[in-house]
């Protein structure tokens, strides 16, 4: 594009910004009349702004045709620059407005989550919330008890499945899909090419998920299969830690082991069947549901959960299911 003669004032080097807005509308809509309608001005006002811009550049920007206008070569080049500049400006404005809004929200959010969910999913992501909402104090507590027994000592809870009780509202957070998982070192001596190979391995359990293996094996077509040994733990997070340390094979919740899979500490030697446990559910104390800090945390955690669909990393063995 031809540029305007330079001056000592940087503002003088820019074309009239309102004229650029009219120019973009005409180029996008293909006519002065359509642009005038979109901008809520008269046809004459649009024509004046385009003539002003053409005088500023010293070149025609549009080719007039019977059914509208199209940009000239110079106009097309200008349009490309204008679209890029407007896009960057829109992004900047949106970002600044969002930051202004989030930094004005202050308060306390009391989050009560399942211990394993808090340790493996929530805490690794919580710094993102603190960065976006520095004036909101998040207080995390953990228990596996039903939230109706926790009373009013929480604002938002995360549980396995919905809780149907007065004063609580439940919203699905994300699916809880489960597959066998183990340390890669376990597979070096005893590969798992199919379900039947699990009989050579130690199966890991936790108190709250003791029936999970039976449910998964039933779905996999091997309801009576027994592992070589069984190890039991009080908590799911101990069960997962045992799998990372190579103590056996666990039936793992995929959202909880994303970091371990990404880091290569765990693999899923079988890709099917993915057994679906009750969904992770967001439970909100209705007395606090309209609090700005609680609303902000709910929106944040829902957004964080929505893209969590990480495919499991597989071991080197085959993934066919042998019965």
What pLDDT is recorded for position 222? 93
Q: Where are the domains of the chain?
A: 10-102, 107-174+279-305, 177-276
Task: Report the predicted TM-score, pTM, of the whole model to 2 decimal places.
Answer: 0.64
Residues near 50 by Cβ (< 8 Å), separated by ≥ 6?
19, 22, 23, 26, 32, 61, 62
Closest among 5, 14, 9, 35 to 85, alpha carbons compared: 14
Do 177-276 and 107-174+279-305 fall under one CATH topology? yes
What is the rounded CA–CA span in Å between residue 87 and residue 79?
12
Q: Which fold has domain 177-276?
A: D-Maltodextrin-Binding Protein; domain 2 (3.40.190)
Angle between helices 17-29 and 73-104 (to 10 degrees): 110
What is the rounded CA–CA span in Å between residue 305 and residue 285?
20
Do 261 and 184 touch, CB atoms closer than 8 A?
Answer: no
Two structure tokens written together for 287: 């007395």
What's the whole-number average pLDDT of the chain?
87
pLDDT digits (tens, 9 = 90+) for 49-82: 989 998 998 999 999 888 889 999 998 999 898 8
Which carries the bigger pLDDT value, residue 65 or residue 95? Answer: 65
Helix (H, G, I), strand (E, B) or coil at 13: helix
Query: What are the two backbone dihedrals, phi and then psi, of residue 318, each rounded to the nearest 5 degrees?
Result: -70, 160
Which CA distances in Å does 127 have to 9, 121, 122, 192?
A: 44, 12, 10, 37
pLDDT over threshold 60, residue 144:
yes
What is the rounded CA–CA span in Å between residue 211 and residue 62?
72
Closest among 130, 167, 163, 169 to 151, alpha carbons compared: 167
Hey, what's the torsion of the CAs at 143, 147, 152, 158, to 10 degrees?
Answer: 70
Query: What are the two backbone dihedrals, phi and then psi, of residue 6, each rounded to the nearest 5 degrees?
Result: -75, 155
Query: Domain 10-102, what architecture?
Result: Orthogonal Bundle (1.10)
In the numeric block, the tokens 């003539």 are attached to: 51
Query: How is residue 306 annotated by DSSP?
Result: T
Which CA distances in Å does 181 have to 64, 163, 232, 287?
A: 67, 29, 16, 40
What pLDDT is recorded for position 115? 94
In the numeric block, the tokens 């031809």 are attached to: 2
Two structure tokens written together for 292: 């700005």
pLDDT digits (tens, 9 = 90+) for 14-50: 888 888 889 999 999 999 899 899 989 898 988 899 8
pLDDT digits (tens, 9 = 90+) for 214-259: 999 999 999 989 999 999 999 999 999 999 999 999 999 999 999 9
Query: What are the two backbone dihedrals, phi and then psi, of residue 23, each rounded to the nearest 5 degrees?
Result: -60, -45
What pLDDT is recorded for position 150? 80
Closest among 13, 280, 283, 310 to 154, alpha carbons compared: 283
Peptide bond into 159 cis (omega under 30): no
What is the rounded CA–CA span in Å between residue 279 and residue 171?
10
What pLDDT is recorded for position 219? 93
What is the rounded CA–CA span in Å between residue 46 and residue 39?
9
What pLDDT is recorded for position 48? 92
What pLDDT is recorded for position 142? 93
Do 163 and 281 touch, CB atoms closer than 8 A?
Answer: yes
CATH of 107-174+279-305, one of 3.40.190.10, 3.30.1490.20, 3.40.80.10, 3.30.70.120: 3.40.190.10
């Amino acid at each position: 594009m031809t540029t305007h003669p330079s001056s000592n004032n940087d503002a003088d080097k820019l074309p009239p910004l309102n004229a650029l807005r009219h120019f973009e509308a005409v180029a996008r809509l293909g006519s002065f009349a359509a642009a005038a309608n979109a901008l809520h001005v008269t046809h004459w006002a649009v024509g004046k702004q385009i003539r002003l811009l053409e005088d500023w550049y010293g070149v025609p920007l549009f080719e007039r045709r019977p059914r509208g206008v199209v940009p000239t070569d110079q106009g097309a080049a200008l349009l490309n620059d204008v679209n890029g500049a407007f896009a960057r400006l829109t992004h900047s404005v949106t970002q600044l407005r969002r930051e202004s809004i989030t930094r004005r929200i202050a308060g306390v959010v009391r989050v009560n989550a399942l211990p394993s969910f808090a340790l493996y999913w929530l805490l690794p992501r919580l710094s993102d919330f603190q960065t976006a909402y520095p004036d909101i104090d998040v207080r995390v507590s953990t228990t596996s008890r039903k939230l109706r027994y926790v009373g009013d000592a929480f604002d938002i809870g995360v549980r396995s499945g919905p809780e149907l009780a007065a004063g609580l509202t439940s919203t699905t957070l994300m699916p809880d899909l489960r597959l066998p998982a183990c340390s890669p070192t376990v597979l070096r001596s005893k590969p798992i090419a199919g379900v039947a190979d699990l009989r050579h391995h130690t199966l890991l359990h936790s108190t709250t998920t003791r029936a999970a293996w039976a449910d998964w094996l039933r779905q996999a077509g091997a309801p009576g299969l027994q592992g070589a040994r069984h190890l039991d733990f009080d908590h799911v997070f101990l069960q997962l830690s045992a799998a990372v340390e190579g103590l056996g094979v666990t039936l793992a919740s995929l959202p909880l082991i994303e970091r371990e899979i990404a880091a290569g500490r765990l693999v899923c030697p079988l890709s099917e069947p993915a057994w679906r446990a009750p969904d992770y559910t967001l439970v909100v104390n209705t007395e606090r549901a309209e609090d700005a800090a609680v609303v902000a945390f709910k929106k944040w955690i829902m957004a964080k959960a929505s893209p969590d669909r990480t495919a499991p990393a597989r071991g080197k063995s085959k993934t066919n299911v042998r019965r």
